[in-house]
Structure 1
């Protein structure tokens, strides 16, 4: 595992058919760090992640993996370096959890290579890390939404890539399991040096877990950097059209967003992060 892998979107314009979603966007992913991307619905977060995972070709610009255009690299080579957990993935009908997680090992299999003990151990580690070992023999379509999400994350972990992209990995999870998943990804980053890039909707969890925070609006990067510099009242207003108070998280000191509304206000004495 290396923390030196680089991933960069350079002047990319992305869309579907005649509809442009992201235009002339440049973004560097800090290697060996946890990056979270936030923004309103339909701002281009998932579209950008698809391009960075080689699932969507830019109309203009390039995505560079280790300085090379990712769309020109062999598929299996990319899959050994970079993994993706998409939003709402679909499993084949009737597949068992252990079989689905084992598919994460496919990039490591050659045309004539056999399944090895190392593959077994990688799958076992992924199941254990996501607390899904007891589900190994169950069919995926029998599981709850939260259980399925953890199984998909296990498959991504079994791939053992240097870079892991996740589109809303806490979807369908209650708050306890959201924290479990984010702690798991933090452990993966700290212990193995995996570069993690994830799209999150919860601003406070994004700020708490990110080393590097990216705020997007209308297909553009509005701000990127340390969460304390990015997550301000002005940024929240520009990105979400929402008035808020941003105060220090009492546990971490990171910025914490308190949304305002017609029925809730904050005292003028409340400390503010600007």
Structure 2
């Protein structure tokens, strides 16, 4: 299965008050693939994701879902196709894990429809996939940061959209849980053909898990394409201001970035 939905950014300009963040940006998200957005702090990564999910209105240009502006679609209609996990979501005070994950089913509820067996199944599957079923009756505000992050991902999965946008989904997670979450998203992509777009800080995880990389620099698109084409030493230097060596990851054949520093360069003394 591969989703046939298209998500395209055309000549997009976005800003906050008098500050421009994104300028004249064009981007086509490959359907049915995993796209990772990378860039330095304040490069516009989260702003782009928020614009793609219509949380931010553009100053110019458009975000088109299947040729229609997302900013002109009814919120519930959009939410049945496109889901978003923002960077710092806030849960209502005292809400349990099961109730929060169940809110992912809201776009599928009509004005007079009742909770169904399909809704139960979607929530149960999302809890199982994120290993949070044992937390179902716990209040979300009593969980650790890593547990909360997995619960939010479960809510996004319960929404069962064909496109899923995630802003730093590995935040608050240790390395093993970061890999677990990215494996989970890969499973979702391969099993359902879900188009996934996520902002990641870790370049090596982005290169390993993404089919398509988008590198932003100063609010503009610097490069987009396969990880091997985008993640070069010149790109890392331009986008991050970092000298590096890029080699082939022996575990997957993707690019592997080795940062250089004053104390860790070839021939530098130890100590």
Unaligned residue ranges in structure 1 (runs of 5+) = 268-274
Q: Distance in 1 between matches of 2:266 and 2:161?
A: 45
Alignment match, 1:107: 107
In the alignment, the residues of structure 2 paired with residue 137 and residue 2 of structure 1 have an alpha-carbon distance, to the nearest angstrom, of: 34
Q: How do 1:21-170 residues align onto structure 2 when only pairs under 5 Å count?
A: 21-170=21-170
Whole-angstrom CA distance in 2 between matches of 1:143 and 1:108? 28
The runs of at least 4 aligned residues of structure 1 exceeding 3 Å deviation read none
CA–CA distance in structure 2, aligned partners of residues 203 and 163 of structure 1: 22
1:69-102 Cα shifts (integer Å, max 9, x gaps): 1111111110000000000110000000000000
> Do residues 204 (structure 1) and 204 (structure 2) align?
yes
Aligned match of 1:230: 230
State the 1:266 CA deviation. Answer: 3.1
For the residue of structure 2 that corresponds to 1:154, the secondary structure is helix
The 8 Å contact of residues 14 and 20 in structure 2, kept in 1 or not, is answered as yes
What per-residue deviation string (whole Å, max 9, x for no partner) do you get for residues 155-193 of structure 1?
Answer: 000000000000000000000000000000000000001
Question: How big is the alpha-carbon RMSD for the aligned residues of Structure 1 and Structure 2?
Answer: 0.8
> Is contact 1:245–1:266 with CA below 8 Å preserved after alignment?
no
TM-score, normalised to structure 1's length? 0.96
Once residues 235 and 143 of structure 1 are traced to their aligned partners in structure 2, the CA distance between those partners, rounded to angstroms, is 39
For residues 2 and 108 of structure 1, do their structure 2 counterparts lie closer, same or farther at Cα, with a shift above 3 Å needed?
Answer: farther
**Could you tell me whether the CA contact under 8 Å between 1:14 and 1:21 is conserved in 2?**
yes
Query: TM-score normalized by structure 2?
Result: 0.97
1:2 Cα deviation (Å)?
5.0
Please give the alpha-carbon distance, in whole angstroms, between the structure 1 residues aligned to 2:248 and 2:73: 44
CA offset at residue 253 of structure 1? Answer: 1.2
Q: Structure 2 stretches of 5 or more lacking a match?
A: none
Count of residues in correspondence between the two structures: 267
